[in-house]
Amino acid sequence: MITRGALVAANRPVAGMVYTALLCACGGAGQEYRSQACVEQALRRTDDLDMVAEARAQFEEQCRQGHGVACSALGVMYETGTGVARSPERAADFYARACRTGNERGCANFAIAQIEGIGVPKQTAMAARALESACEKRDGRACLYLARLLEVGDGATRDPALAARLFAIACDGEEAAACVAHAENDERAGNHASTEAYLTKACALGDKGACSRLDPDPYASTGVMRSSKPLIQVSETR
């Protein structure tokens, strides 16, 4: 049985200078859940191997003490191969361990592992329910994966309109893939200004595919990049 005290401990950001450094690297956040998401985002992007090695040692100790935040962070490291040998199975195990402490971000990460088949069999229906809770807290990664399920009706009732709204939330959470998905929806709807805005944001977030679709226009008075080719290729009927 998980007590209220255990839940508080599981969701509280772990202490230490490494955690603070990662938090600063991703821009920081005051709310606890978003702070954890921010740190995990930084782990996925960092190339500071010294900091990663120190982070691993701290997270392993804190995970053994029952801190779900640390267990989930270790899952990210094993999923991405950040500072450790990549192991989908160990990643899923740490996500599940974090979830068992009551850490909601860990539950969301485990749900995504179930969708992608990362170290565990694919199981989208159960994953969708876990993602709903995380997405309600505006977790960008959770909203991105939930939107993908809703868009096609996989593990959840198909709802393209809700999926589009969740892609926008995920894009606000700096998920580049969500920005591209939103741009594609806007392209279909003929909303070219919005298409370009979301495509440009995806490019700024490091999506090379989005960048390849944009060309700087020296004649644009706003200085905004203009799309060089459509996202959606429409075949002509003859």
Residue 22, in any domain of the structure:
yes
Among the residue ranges 5-14, 30-39, 135-144, the one predicted with the least confidence is 5-14
Residue 209 domain flag: no
Is 185 inside a domain boundary? no
Specify if 1 maps to a domain.
yes
Domain annotation covers residue 98: yes
pLDDT bin (cut points 50, 70, 90) of residue 113 is very high
Give, for 22, the enclosing helix (H) or strand (E). helix 17-25
At 1, list the tokens.
Answer: 């049985």
Report the helix count and the strand count for the chain, using DSSP H and E: 13, 2
Q: What is the pLDDT of residues 148-181, one digit of tens each?
A: 999 999 988 999 999 999 999 999 988 999 999 9
Q: Coil, helix or strand for 121? A: coil
Smallest CA-to-CA distance from 206 within 229, 227, 176, 167 is with 176
Residue 228: pLDDT band (50, 70, 90) is: very low
The string of pLDDT tens digits covering residues 178-220 is 999 999 999 999 999 999 999 999 999 889 999 998 865 534 4
The residue type of 78 is Y
Domain residues for the domain of 70 are 1-122
pTM (2 d.p.) = 0.74
Total structural domains within the chain: 1
Q: Is residue 84 a part of any domain in this protein?
A: yes
| Gap between the terminal Cα atoms of the chain | 66
Lookup result for tokens 């993908």: 148
Residue 53 belongs to a domain with what CATH number?
Answer: 1.25.40.10
Q: Has residue 25 got a pLDDT over 80?
A: no
Secondary structure in 3-state letters for 35-57:
HHHHHHHHHHHCCCHHHHHHHHH
Residue 236 lies in a domain: no
